[in-house]
Amino acid sequence: MNAPAETPPLLTGAVPPAPAWFARAVAEEPERSMIAVRGAEVEMLTWGEIGAPGLLFLHGKGAHADWWSFLAPFFSSRYRVVAISWSGMGRSGWRQAYSEDLLAEEAMAALEAGGALAAKAKPVVVAHSFGSLMAALMCERMGGRLGAAVFVDPPFFSRETIARRRERWAGASAKAHRVYGSVEEAVRRFRFSPWQPCENLFIADFIARRSLVRVEEGERAGWRWCLDPRHWTPDRQNAIERLPVEAGVPMTVILGSRSALYTPDDVRYIEASCRGAARLLTIPEAAHHVMVDQPLALVSVLRAVLADADVFS
């Protein structure tokens, strides 16, 4: 799917009506805290009891931990659920540079600090998009200490595709965020990347409002997006070329059937790579941001994966 030349607005600035399941889920507020990792404060959200099996959610590029806030409560009665915002995203601190190794260290630190390692059962990591890079590194580093890894619409590409993506980004540079005069003005500018339409506007609005921070800069006082623009430089176009099969971690790859991330050739590459190495599942009518398009379907699939992972053994 290609974005139109001018992407149409998703939101009006008014809060859209939401279904009862969503209202119940977001009413279960997480405990919010910060953990220090290599000189940066990393935002951590937790649900459920310490001592229950651990479940770690990792978000994609430009997102934050609250992208999981409306799904995590579906698991909190049986799991110790942890979600983080990568440094440079969400309410986490910014760094001069961001490497996948360092971000993977943030995720592993959250497992410990969030109490996700307190159970006898091995923890499970669920990662969306860019977060899958760090989940793959966790598999390599932790191996048998992980119960399973789930990659949701991951940047899983052949070398040829990776080269084309980097060429497309050549010459790009980080740009300072615009400061908006009001939350409503900023919300009206919210778009998904990659671009996609959205039927669940109540989710888009929830995410957009939690993607903003207040800034006080004299005449420029207002609201800006909470992402460090340096995350969007060309050298951040890394991808997974192969699954970490040798780590011995059961793996599942979940694709959105309408994802703009892949060409048909990319999907065939993923299918070939997963054969004998990982379970490959597709969620119908979901674009790249699967938790936005088909949140309840994703919950059902994750519950099935967790049951197969036998995390209670």
pLDDT in tens, 269-302: 999 999 999 999 999 999 999 999 999 999 999 9
Strand partners, 149: 125, 251
Q: State the pLDDT at residue 174.
A: 65
Highest mean pLDDT among 107-121, 153-167, 223-237: 107-121
Q: Where residue 1 falls among pLDDT bands split at 50, 70, 90?
A: very low
**Per-residue DSSP letter, 116:** T
Does 194 sit behind a cis peptide bond, omega within 30 degrees of 0 on the bond before it?
Answer: yes
Helices in the chain by DSSP H: which ranges?
20-27, 100-113, 131-142, 159-169, 183-188, 201-209, 264-274, 290-293, 295-309
pLDDT of residue 70: 98
Residue 177 has pLDDT above 90, yes or no: no
Question: What is the average per-residue pLDDT within 159-175?
Answer: 78
Q: How far is CA 263 from the centre of its chain?
A: 21
Q: Which residues contact 102 (CB under 8 A, 6 or more apart)?
A: 37, 38, 87, 95
The residues, ordered by sequence, that sit 6+ positions from 300 with a Cβ below 8 Å of its Cβ are none
Task: Convert the pLDDT of each residue in 99-118 to its tens digit.
Answer: 999 999 999 999 999 999 99
Domains and CATH numbers, the chain: 29-169+241-308 (3.40.50.1820)
On the question of pLDDT at 171 being above 80, the answer is no
Handedness of CA 152, 157, 162, 165 (dihedral sign): negative
Average pLDDT over residues 57-71: 97
Q: What percent of the chain has pLDDT over 70?
A: 93
Compare 308 and 94 and report the one with higher pLDDT: 94
pLDDT at position 6? 62
Is the per-residue pLDDT at 233 higher than 50? yes
Please tell me the predicted confidence (pLDDT) of residue 7: 74
Whole-angstrom distance, CA of residue 288 vs CA of residue 155: 10
Q: Is the pTM of this model over 0.75?
A: yes
Residue of 45, 60, 22 whose CA lies nearest to 196: 60
pLDDT band at 313 (very low <50, low <70, confident <90, very high): very low
Give the mean pLDDT of the chain. Answer: 92
- Mean pLDDT confidence for 195-201: 94
Torsion angle of the four alpha carbons 17, 258, 134, 243, in this order, in degrees rounded to the nearest 10: 150
Residue 179 CB neighbour total at 10 angstroms: 16
Q: Which of helix, strand or coil describes residue 177?
A: coil
pLDDT at site 235: 57
Give the confidence band of 154 by pLDDT, cuts at 50, 70, 90.
Answer: very high
Report whether 46 contacts 30 (CB < 8 A).
yes
Residue identified by tokens 């390599």 is 140
